[in-house]
Structure 1
Amino acid sequence: MHSLNVGVSTLGLLAALVAPILAQESSYFVMYSTDPVVVERVDPLLSPGTVSSHEHSVIGANGFAATMDFAQTQTATCATVPVKADKSNYWFPSLYYQSPHNGSFLRAKDNSNTRIYYKFGTGGNGPDLERSEFPKEFRMITGNALLRHDDGSMGSPGNQLNWMCHDGGNNPRATGFPTGFTNCDAQGFAATIRFPSCWNGKDFNPASPQAHMAFPINQDGMKGCEAPFNVKRFPEIMIEYWLDITQFTGDYGSNDKPWVLAPGDNTGYSFHADFINGWEPGVLAAAMKTCRVGNTAEPLDTSSCFGANSLYTDAEKRACSGSVKNVVAEDTGTTSYIKALPGCNPIQSGPADATPQKNCPNVVTSLGDGGSGKAVSSPVGTTTLATSTSSKTTSQLSTSTSATTTKSSAVVSPSETSTSGGSTSGGPASVTAADGSTWAAAGCYVDTVNPRTLPTNGWWGNPITNTECAKGCSKLGFSISGAENGGQCFCGNSLGSSAKVDSSECKSPCAGDSSQKCGGPARLSVYKKSSSTKKARAHRHLERHRQAAVS
Structure 2
Amino acid sequence: MRFSPTLRASLTLSSLVAFADAYWIFGGTQPLVTTRLDPVVDSGTLGGHVHVVAGGSNFGPTYDYDTQIQSKCSTITVQKDLSNYWAPQLYYHDQSTGELTAMPSSFNIYYLPRAGPANESIMAFPAGLRMIAGDTNEHMNTYNASSFADQAISYMCLDYNNDHTGDPDWAERPDFFDHTCPDGLRAQIFFPSCWDGVNLDSSDHKSHMAYPIQNYNSGDCPDSHPVHLVSLFYEMFVSVDQFPYNGNGTWVYANGDTTGRGLHGDFVNGWADIDLLQNAIDNCGDANGQVSACPPLQAEVDQNAASACEYTGLIVDEEVGLNGPITTLPGCNPLWDGTGTKPACPDDASPGLIDAETPLPTGWSDIGCIAEGTNGRAFTGASTTSPNMTRATCAEFCDSKGFSLAGAEFGDECYCDNTFQNGASNTTVTWSECSNKCAGNSLQDCGGPQRLSLMYNPTPGNAQIVSQTPIVPSGAPTAAPTVASVAGSSAISSAAPATSSAAVAPAVPAGWSASGCVSDNGARTLNGFSFTTDTMTPGTCASTCASKGFSMAGIEYGQECYCGNSFANGGGSTLAASSCNMACSGDASSTCGGSWALSLYSDSSSISASLPNSGSSSPSSAAVSSALPSSAPAPSSVAVSSAPAVSASASPTSALLIAVPSAASASAAAPSMPASAPSMPASAPSSASTPVPSGSANSTVNLPAGWSAAGCVSDTLQRTLNRDAYTGTTMTVASCVAHCDSLGWSMAGLEYSRECYCGDSFVNGGGNPLPDSSCDMVCPTDGNSCGGPLALNVYTKASASTAARRNLKARHFGRRHGSGNFF
Shorter chain as denominator, the TM-score bin is 0.5 to 0.7
Find the counterpart in structure 1 of residue 763 from structure 2.
none
Asked if residue 360 in structure 1 is aligned to residue 360 in structure 2, the reply is no
- Provide Cα deviations, 1:327-357, integer angstroms capped at 9, x if missing partner: 21110011211110111211122147968x7
1:413-432 equivalences under 5 Å are none
The two structures, once aligned, show a CA RMSD in angstroms of 4.1
Identify if the C-alpha distance between structure 1 residues 144 and 271 changes in structure 2 by more than 3 Å, giving closer, same or farther: same
Find the counterpart in structure 2 of residue 190 from structure 1.
186
Of residues 130, 141, 154, the one that matches 2:132 is: 141
Deviation at 1:263, TM superposition (A): 0.6
1:22-37 equivalences under 5 Å are 25=20, 27-37=22-32
Deviation at 1:146, TM superposition (A): 0.9
Structure (1 or 2) with the larger CA radius of gyration: 2
The alignment partner of 1:39 has SS state of strand
CA distance, structure 1, for counterparts of residue 10 and residue 70 of structure 2? 34
Identify if the C-alpha distance between structure 1 residues 225 and 50 changes in structure 2 by more than 3 Å, giving closer, same or farther: same
Deviation at 1:71, TM superposition (A): 0.7
Asked if residue 216 in structure 1 is aligned to residue 212 in structure 2, the reply is yes
- Asked if 2 retains the 8 angstrom alpha-carbon contact of 1:45 and 1:206, the reply is no
Asked if residue 66 in structure 1 is aligned to residue 76 in structure 2, the reply is no
Structure 1: which 5+ residue stretches go unaligned? 1-7, 394-484, 487-507, 518-551
The number of residues matched between the two structures is: 371
Asked if residue 289 in structure 1 is aligned to residue 282 in structure 2, the reply is yes
Find the counterpart in structure 2 of residue 528 from structure 1.
none
TM-score when scaled to structure 2?
A: 0.40
Which shifted more, 232-241 or 326-335? 326-335
1:330-345 equivalences under 5 Å are 330-345=318-333
Asked if residue 83 in structure 1 is aligned to residue 78 in structure 2, the reply is yes
Identify if the C-alpha distance between structure 1 residues 144 and 153 changes in structure 2 by more than 3 Å, giving closer, same or farther: farther
Name the aligned partner's letter for residue 257 of structure 2. D
Find the counterpart in structure 2 of residue 166 from structure 1.
158
CA distance, structure 1, for counterparts of residue 200 and residue 341 of structure 2? 23
The alignment partner of 2:111 has SS state of strand
Find the counterpart in structure 1 of residue 89 from structure 2.
94
Which shifted more, 24-33 or 192-201? 24-33
- Provide Cα deviations, 1:280-306, integer angstroms capped at 9, x if missing partner: 2211111111111x33443x22x4242
Find the counterpart in structure 1 of residue 203 from structure 2.
207
The alignment partner of 2:131 has SS state of strand
The alignment partner of 1:295 has SS state of coil
The alignment partner of 2:60 has SS state of coil
1:418-457 equivalences under 5 Å are none
- Asked if 1 retains the 8 angstrom alpha-carbon contact of 2:202 and 2:208, the reply is no
Name the aligned partner's letter for residue 101 of structure 2. L
Name the aligned partner's letter for residue 317 of structure 2. A
CA distance, structure 2, for counterparts of residue 175 and residue 220 of structure 1? 14
- Asked if 2 retains the 8 angstrom alpha-carbon contact of 1:41 and 1:52, the reply is yes
CA distance, structure 1, for counterparts of residue 23 and residue 236 of structure 2? 18
Name the aligned partner's letter for residue 55 of structure 2. G
TM-score when scaled to structure 1?
A: 0.59
Identify if the C-alpha distance between structure 1 residues 308 and 348 changes in structure 2 by more than 3 Å, giving closer, same or farther: closer
**Identity over the aligned pairs, expressed in percent?**
27
- Provide Cα deviations, 1:472-527, integer angstroms capped at 9, x if missing partner: xxxxxxxxxxxxx99xxxxxxxxxxxxxxxxxxxxx8499xx7699xxxxxxxxxx
The alignment partner of 1:327 has SS state of strand
Deviation at 1:134, TM superposition (A): 1.6
CA distance, structure 1, for counterparts of residue 356 and residue 93 of structure 2? 33
Find the counterpart in structure 2 of residue 312 from structure 1.
302
- Asked if 2 retains the 8 angstrom alpha-carbon contact of 1:199 and 1:213, the reply is yes
CA distance, structure 1, for counterparts of residue 249 and residue 26 of structure 2? 30
CA distance, structure 1, for counterparts of residue 314 and residue 193 of structure 2? 32
CA distance, structure 2, for counterparts of residue 269 and residue 154 of structure 1? 15
The alignment partner of 2:279 has SS state of helix
The alignment partner of 2:306 has SS state of helix
Asked if residue 107 in structure 1 is aligned to residue 102 in structure 2, the reply is yes
Name the aligned partner's letter for residue 353 of structure 2. L
- Asked if 1 retains the 8 angstrom alpha-carbon contact of 2:58 and 2:311, the reply is no
CA distance, structure 2, for counterparts of residue 211 and residue 138 of structure 1? 13
CA distance, structure 2, for counterparts of residue 157 and residue 66 of structure 1? 26
Deviation at 1:58, TM superposition (A): 0.5
The alignment partner of 2:315 has SS state of coil
Find the counterpart in structure 2 of residue 270 from structure 1.
262
Identify if the C-alpha distance between structure 1 residues 213 and 24 changes in structure 2 by more than 3 Å, giving closer, same or farther: closer
Identify if the C-alpha distance between structure 1 residues 151 and 245 changes in structure 2 by more than 3 Å, giving closer, same or farther: closer
Of residues 226, 240, 244, the one that matches 1:245 is: 240
Which shifted more, 217-226 or 98-107? 217-226
Name the aligned partner's letter for residue 367 of structure 1. L
- Asked if 1 retains the 8 angstrom alpha-carbon contact of 2:34 and 2:50, the reply is yes
- Provide Cα deviations, 1:407-465, integer angstroms capped at 9, x if missing partner: xxxxxxxxxxxxxxxxxxxxxxxxxxxxxxxxxxxxxxxxxxxxxxxxxxxxxxxxxxx
Name the aligned partner's letter for residue 259 of structure 1. W
Identify if the C-alpha distance between structure 1 residues 91 and 344 changes in structure 2 by more than 3 Å, giving closer, same or farther: same
Deviation at 1:276, TM superposition (A): 0.5
- Asked if 2 retains the 8 angstrom alpha-carbon contact of 1:84 and 1:312, the reply is yes
Identify if the C-alpha distance between structure 1 residues 220 and 383 changes in structure 2 by more than 3 Å, giving closer, same or farther: closer
The alignment partner of 2:305 has SS state of helix
CA distance, structure 1, for counterparts of residue 157 and residue 131 of structure 2? 28
Of residues 130, 140, 153, the one that matches 2:121 is: 130
Asked if residue 152 in structure 1 is aligned to residue 152 in structure 2, the reply is no
- Provide Cα deviations, 1:152-191, integer angstroms capped at 9, x if missing partner: 1685999411112102222443201112x3342x3x2110
Find the counterpart in structure 2 of residue 175 from structure 1.
174
- Asked if 2 retains the 8 angstrom alpha-carbon contact of 1:64 and 1:89, the reply is yes
Identify if the C-alpha distance between structure 1 residues 222 and 172 changes in structure 2 by more than 3 Å, giving closer, same or farther: closer
Name the aligned partner's letter for residue 335 of structure 2. I
CA distance, structure 1, for counterparts of residue 218 and residue 153 of structure 2? 24
Identify if the C-alpha distance between structure 1 residues 228 and 308 changes in structure 2 by more than 3 Å, giving closer, same or farther: closer
- Asked if 2 retains the 8 angstrom alpha-carbon contact of 1:33 and 1:60, the reply is no
Identify if the C-alpha distance between structure 1 residues 12 and 283 changes in structure 2 by more than 3 Å, giving closer, same or farther: farther
1:490-501 equivalences under 5 Å are none
Identify if the C-alpha distance between structure 1 residues 382 and 135 changes in structure 2 by more than 3 Å, giving closer, same or farther: same
1:345-424 equivalences under 5 Å are 345-351=333-339, 360-364=347-351, 366-368=352-354, 382-385=470-473, 391=479
Identify if the C-alpha distance between structure 1 residues 326 and 510 changes in structure 2 by more than 3 Å, giving closer, same or farther: closer
Deviation at 1:318, TM superposition (A): 1.8
- Asked if 1 retains the 8 angstrom alpha-carbon contact of 2:46 and 2:473, the reply is no
Name the aligned partner's letter for residue 290 of structure 1. N
- Provide Cα deviations, 1:79-120, integer angstroms capped at 9, x if missing partner: 11122221111111000111021121101111x4x1111111
The alignment partner of 2:242 has SS state of helix
Identify if the C-alpha distance between structure 1 residues 123 and 352 changes in structure 2 by more than 3 Å, giving closer, same or farther: farther
Find the counterpart in structure 1 of residue 42 from structure 2.
47
CA distance, structure 1, for counterparts of residue 477 and residue 90 of structure 2? 31
Asked if residue 235 in structure 1 is aligned to residue 225 in structure 2, the reply is no
Deviation at 1:312, TM superposition (A): 1.8
The alignment partner of 1:226 has SS state of coil
The alignment partner of 1:66 has SS state of coil
CA distance, structure 1, for counterparts of residue 251 and residue 83 of structure 2? 29
